[in-house]
Structure 1
Amino acid sequence: QLLYFHMGLRVFLALSLPCPVVLVCSHDDAMEGEALVVKCPRDRPNRTITWYHTQTNLPIPAEEGERIFSSGRFLWFLPTAKEDSGTYTCFVCDFSKCTMPSTVSVMVYPYKRGICFPSRIRYPNDTGTLTSGKIVCPTIDNYENATIVKWYKDCKPLQGPSEKYLMREKYLFIKCPPKTDEGYYTCYFTYMHGGNVYNVSATRRFIVEETVSSPILAQIQYPTDNSVIQVELGSPVNISCKAFLGIGKQNIAVVTWNVNETKAEALNSLRFQVDCQFFRESDRRYYGESILNIEKVKEEDLLSNFSCTALNEMGFVMHKVMLQLKAGHHHNTYLIIGILVLLVIIALLVILHHFFQINIVLLCREIFKPYKTQNDGKIYDACVIYPKNRTNEANFVEYFVHQILPDVLENKHGYKLCIHGRDMLPGEGTLLDAANAFEMRILKSRRLIIILTPQLIECEEFAYEHQIALYNALIQNDIKVILLEMETIGDYKGLQESLRHIIKQQGTIKWKEKHTQSPYASNSTFWKHVRYHMPVRHKSSQFSYAV
């Protein structure tokens, strides 16, 4: 009972005395609706700290869940409200006595349109801030796992990273700050507690003072700015960055690598490793060296931005580096690409030749017509032989030979045909004379067109003429054979062996049922194949030559 009476008396006396006389005081300002964490000015290990609202003398609850609660040395406002403005007292006690209380003055300012951060919400400069170009985000150490979102100067957001500003953790570094960099700098960060995210802003004034002597700005000795490193794809590479940081050991000394404006150490990639060391030479000159190890160079690295940053109390300097393939590697790459392109072109040409060979050849014949004829002694472009019908019944094969074939090849495309039975001269009536005359016509022809039908197997007259034609085609090799299969014959077993040999070598051109609907259509598949095997014609039907 005496102990509690003693503590209560101390509280009464402390709360009744003015702050400047007996209390250790601190001042914290905040914006309405933000998180605020204040710290008791006094801190003794293994002591109990109790918080009171000075105006009401009521203790601040120590349980989380309340908007205002305390825990040890810290007092939370999650979030702040205008009525939170006032003073708060913290007592540091053990079982025997309490130290003199400390008070914290809290002022909450409401947001006003057109005013981002009131100049009254500011914190004093840190030691060394006036000329070093380093600004520390105020009170951020009171917030566990806080993340800085943006920095402001006189309510205008700073764009970074850039050649002027470097933002690193809780610090803002200004490179060689002139007087124009003076002003109010605000760090705007987020704080997570109990699953909720809160915003916090803190402002500090930055002043640049003229000094007679000042530390030396960091200087990168190598690599030079915008230098190019020759590399090979798939190979490792080490890039070293050495910087002079000042005379004697430096309070702030950083030499690091960035990849696309991200610290190489922070990249989630095992390909990038950074080794850093600091050393002092005999003249007390202090250096730092950082080596970026790339395990395996990829194509994406050739498009990435690599930069080395050296930092000391005066500010930072940055040099950029580019990766470029070695000249020989370029040559090999272009050679491989050229070979691949050539193979693709060849493959396309093979495909086009396979599927469109006939159309391409016929088109070229139409475009590039010859102007000279070959003096080969030939009279006819093609000699036509076929099995004759021994009856007087209408026969499509004879109609095809005497009507359709001459109309398409002779009338439309200017070829000259020798058709057995149509072009026989008087006096060739005997079998021997007819055979000799027909043999002469075969020898005077550039092509031999043989009509294949089932009747071919049983036609004795045709068999003799056929033997002569095949002899000239196969033995003397003077005539190219065109086989037109007008009716399905089957497996060709009934045909002569020499004819089966030709069919095996070059196949036949088949007349199908669909061709009967438009037998004179020279652009049909059937007639295109026939024209493809015929000799090349001069644009005037008077001349021709063989190919």
Structure 2
Amino acid sequence: LFPLENCEAYDVMLRHSLVPEGQPLAIKCSLGNNLKSGDYNLTWYKVGNETAVPRDKLSRIHQQKNLIWFLPAMLEDSGDYECIIRNMTSYRKMCTRVTVFERVHGVCLNEKFAVEEVIFTLSSAKVVCPHLDYFRNRKNIQPVRWYKDCQLLEGKRFTFSNSDLIIFNVTVHDRGNYTCETTYTYHGKQYNISRDIILTVEVSPPKIPPEISYPRNNSIEVELGSQVTVDCNTTGADGFEVFWTSNGVYIDYMSRIFASPYEEEVSYDGRPVHSTKLIISEVNSEDYEQPFVCQASNAFGQVASYIILKRRVPDIQRRLTGGLLSLLILTFIALIIYKIFKIDLVLWYRNSVCAFATKEDGKMYDAYVLYTKSSGDRSFYRLETFVHRILPDVLEQQCGYNLFILGRDDLPGEAAVSIADETLKQSRRLMIILESITSSRSRPLEDTSEEQLAVYNALIRDGIKVILIEMDEIEDYTSMPESIRYVKQKHGAIQWKGDFSDKSCSANTRFWKKVCYQMPSRKKVSYSERYLWPLTSNNSAARGS
């Protein structure tokens, strides 16, 4: 009907249409202003299909005037559609894309196909249920229901105007996922319509004068000749209306005192946040007590705040507090070190200082050694080896102490009680060596009169310090004499955990350091004196045998 010799083609891409499966869809082909009714022919096609969309109103997909209707849209309808407009002088072709998506069961909103809308925190705001123009007329005015996060909206803050949602006193908590639902009736058949909306709420800046959070008409202490930087932080001011002044003069960027360009952010309530720095490259005397003023303004008012530089005075209280705190920390560290290395420090102090300052007390022996005597089992020989070989080797030969060991240093025929009484008066310590009472031949300490006398003199008469050494781990002291239990409770015990190897017989081991710590301090002796005691002791032992 229309000649095509002089036709020009105009390709126009229409809006992309999204619709859930089973819901109606209508797309309009826009006409140009130069087209008049009756002067054109408009036909809809699906791209790739040469057959035009039928005009039968009872067809599921049909054309009415310049609209293409899907009643309802099905998944297979997805694709590109074009409308071709012809008249006597022109030829136009417009294209649109239709996407029909499937509703996921149990999910009330499909974010992939949702429409995004933005409102502001005002007294009220409107949320539009989109793309309902062709489904609401005088014959089809069905109510629209609104949901947020699948919950029906109710309450005084929400009202409805036609198909739109009105929210009063909007806050940021109103953001979220919304769904509007209604129905459309065509030729006696009702279709459901739903639209998904992702609502964003942006904060509207309040209409108030700006605020200055710093400075706050305060002062700071600075040193002469130092560099100083002061921030002026404002909220709600116009960017170019934030600046520093001194004596009413604007501070520029080309002097000893200058201001840096402002930095801009956005606050939680939507107002702009600006910050500009006052920089004094070198403080002079005239800068003291001089107010530097930060000024800010916007369309609703102007504010100002100043800062004053003062000379820095020594903070005696802070220095005292810092000194006391440092002293407490050093004291705490020293106590920890002393607790860990207490024995080593005491022994070092004795060897370095007390060795030259020890006063003579007239006593001959550093320790009177007392131990349980038994026979016939392995523990007896172990105890005898420790008392007669290991103990003298370490304490006498390596450490320079002088010991009295009953059975080694007493003379034959002498009364044991008399020896114990006289020797204890000449001794500075009483060393008691215990073994666990497991053998039938073992007997508890204090079975003999000399042992009873020794413990009595140490605890009651002479007040001699007692050193308790366990050859084995003794868990139960109930079978021990009361005096031994008392010593254990008051002074504790040193447990021998070594063997008879050279390493265990070294005075540098922890066990022997603990024993030396309990022993009295010794003065420095000559080389000949140190080796005289073991010789004397051996002679005494020879006489005894």
TM-score (norm 1): 0.41
